[in-house]
Amino acid sequence: MWPTSTRVAVVTGGSRGIGRATVSRLAADGLAVVVGYVAGKEQAWAAAQEVAVAGGRALAVQADVAVEADVAGLFDAAEEAFGGIDVVVHSAGRMTLAPVSDLALADLDNLYRTNVRGSFAVAQQAARRLRGGGALVLLSTSVVARPLPRYGAYSATKGAVEALTKVLARELRGRDVTVNAVAPGPTVTDMFLDGKDEELLARFAAEPPLERLGTPADVADVIAFLASPAGHWVNGQVIRANGGVI
């Protein structure tokens, strides 16, 4: 077991995108980080190695967030390696876009499995295990508050995440643990870029008053604030990190 003088974070979906940027950001803040992943083993281990090379502490652990035993094992690994858990960031997610009239229900089931069941499974373990002063940060999407065609199913799953956030924050009264959600706008990740041409990306980039797409680092900075002692008075909130789109 590592020494436990520093805070410890578990980041699901930590092998790429916003999760990967969050791993780097929290490690830079001095946290030991457990990189959760379901696929992309090489990317996850590269993320952990990057932290180690910079003088931090990290390990990668495979876990399907929709499988209760996997999620429990992820948290077990964090406690065994580092002695406890202070921050949980649930970045793992899935996005399928289609008009409501055209979406296959099998695709809806897959979205629900990862985005709703997975969020609940991770939140449940966080509620049981986070130490006092800790923080749970879930990932939503700004599209929940800005309805766009083809985003119906995805937005519905993330709306569930926002509801869960607000309820759990109140259920943890007396534990000194915060629960918040970060809802990114258009952000340059593989998941967002998939299936979008240059013209569509340019339209997305022109919408924010800041006139650009977000980056994973932009979102990771917001997550890191909520996970830090400086952000501990923010609780039960959904932060729309989108450059001012809405």
Nearest to 33 by CA among 45, 42, 41, 238: 45
- The count of other CB atoms within 10 Å of the CB of residue 173 is 9
Q: Copy the structure tokens of residue 240.
A: 């729309």
| Helical spans, DSSP H, in the chain | 17-28, 41-53, 68-82, 105-111, 118-129, 152-171, 190-193, 198-206, 216-227
Q: Transcribe 136-187 into DSSP letters.
A: EEEE--GGGGS--TT-HHHHHHHHHHHHHHHHHHHHTTTS--EEEEE---SB
Task: Cite the active site residues.
Answer: 154
Backbone angles phi, psi at 66, to 5 degrees: -90, -5
